[in-house]
Amino acid sequence: MNPQAEELNKIIQAKNPVIYDLLSAKGKNIFFPKKGILGQTADAKGTRINATIGAAVEDNGSPMRLESIESNIKLDPSLVFPYAPSFGRPDIRAKWQSMIFEKNPSLQGKTLSLPVVTNALTHGVSMAGYLFVDEGDQVIVPDLFWGNYNLILTHAYGAQLSKFNLFKDGGFDLEAFRAKLAEGGIGKKILILNFPNNPTGYTPTQAEIKAIVGIIKESAEAGNKIVVFSDDAYFGLVYEEGIEPESIFAPLSDLHENVLALKIDGPTKEDYVWGFRVGFMTYGVKGGDAELYGALEAKTGGAVRGNISNAANVSQSLLLSAFENEAYHAQKEAKFEIMNTRYQAVKEVLKDDKYQQYFTALPYNSGYFMCVQLAEGLDGEQVRQILIEKYSIGLINLNNVLRVAFSAVAASDVKELFEGIYNACKDAAQ
């Protein structure tokens, strides 16, 4: 093992041996190279003639660049053309951390790592897999989950997704969750929670979140070592009272020494920048301090360095300038209102009982999506095809559950959308 990895492992073992045990073999081996090219480049910072860096500079020392690119970007070239650090730009890391605290007021007084920048959330989940998932490890997910976890975790890291029933009596199935966590005896547990959920658009109520956190705590007290990935892709888009507005990462981040909470989040969906490819990984654990978090950040930064080198500087800089723009919050609020209006339109349209002949909505209250469960005997794939061909309506079929991205549908089209589904079901039933 590289001595720099050993150094990080020693820190983690001394601070919290459970976290060391949670790391995968790759996670134990990885480190951020402080020596070598990066170290020598850092040492040379400020020299008059600096010939270390693997990028080109103009004679005046500014980044070499093409006018045809620069002319389209208002930001200073130094914020755009050079590499960003593997950990992410320090300014956006600090800003995003302060935004996590603002958006989750119950985090006040808690100590978290600095976020490490990833190439958006998909890459964050992948890096979480790299650091914590070994071949054959079970990863606990609800039975309705974002399908890409299969490619990211199963195919890339050999995980087995182990599903629990998500809904019971119109809410979160706490008993199924408790039973799943207890399955297989005491040991390492890896869990992905994603609220608001894709595909269902469900976020647990505040009472349910308390119960879920209580179940995880009981499990930790029983001796399990648990890492929870909180995929917060749709954070902030909660449309109902009584639904938990904060991330479940907040109560998990200092729950128990045996629980490592890892928040995987970013602006992709929150700030409507799907193509920017910026995300963050932030750690929280009871008793976590700067040294422990520093070691986890170094491992994460090392994994990023060995995988994509670093995330786009231009995207990070554009986002930071938006976060610091005084109109940012009002603009975000205006977009929230549009999403909320679409959500309310769905709720309103679905008040019509006639739809229940062919489909019923699964619980939904947040995010970009909602799902309808087709009635017995209907074939989701057939309905989907009829919807495209006869009604010019596109949606996703997931085993006879149809996922509707109301985020992409004008409120004025929502009635037509559900009438289309109704009529396509009727066609299919004949």
Ligand X SMILES: Cc1ncc(COP(=O)(O)O)c(C=O)c1O
Whether 1 and 31 have beta carbons less than 8 Å apart is answered as no
Structure-block tokens of residue 421: 């589904």
231 forms part of the interface with ligand X (CB under 6 A): yes
Kindly indicate which of the ranges 9-17, 78-86, 118-126, 338-346 contains the residues binding ligand X, using the contact rule CB under 6 A: 118-126
> Residues in contact with ligand X, total (CB under 6 A)?
12
- Count the Cβ atoms, other than its own, within 10 Å of residue 302: 26
Residue 122 in the binding site for ligand X (CB under 6 A) = yes
192 touching ligand X, by CB under 6 A: no
Burial track 199-221 (b if 16+ CB lie within 10 A, e otherwise): bbbbbbbeebbebbbebbbebbe
Binds ligand X by CB under 6 A, chosen from 9, 16, 24, 268 = 268
Q: Which of 63, 204, 251, 266 binds ligand X (CB under 6 A)?
A: 266
Kindly state whether residue 113 participates in binding ligand X, applying the rule CB under 6 A.
Answer: no
**Residue closer to ligand X (CB basis): 149 or 418:** 149
Q: Which residues of 311-347 are buried (b: 16+ CB within 10 A; e: fewer)?
A: bbbebbbbbbeebeeeeeeeeeeeeeeebeebbebbb
Least spacing, CB of residue 278 vs ligand X, in Å: 8
267 vs 284, beta carbon nearer ligand X: 267
Site string for ligand X, 144-163 (x = CB under 6 A): --x-----------------
What CA–CA distance (Å, rounded) separates 277 from 268?
Answer: 7
- Considering the complex, what minimum distance in angstroms separates the CB of residue 403 from ligand X? 11
Q: How many CB atoms lie within 10 A of CB 348?
A: 12
Among 22, 120, 127, 140, binds ligand X (CB under 6 A): 120
Of 128 and 233, nearer to ligand X (C-beta) is 233
> How far apart are CB 122 and ligand X at their closest, in Å?
3
Say if residue 362 is exposed, middle or buried (CB neighbours under 10 Å; 0-12, 13-18, 19+): buried
Q: Which ranges in 64-205 belong to alpha helices (H)?
A: 67-70, 90-103, 120-132, 148-149, 156-157, 174-182
Interacting residue with ligand X among 193, 216, 233, 304 (CB under 6 A): 233
Angle subtended by helix axes 290-305 and 3-15, to nearest 10: 140
Piece of the chain touching ligand X by CB under 6 A; list 81-89, 120-128, 320-328, 344-352: 120-128
d(CA 68, CA 175): 59
Residues that bind ligand X (CB under 6 A): 120-122, 146, 194, 198, 231, 233, 266, 268, 274, 279
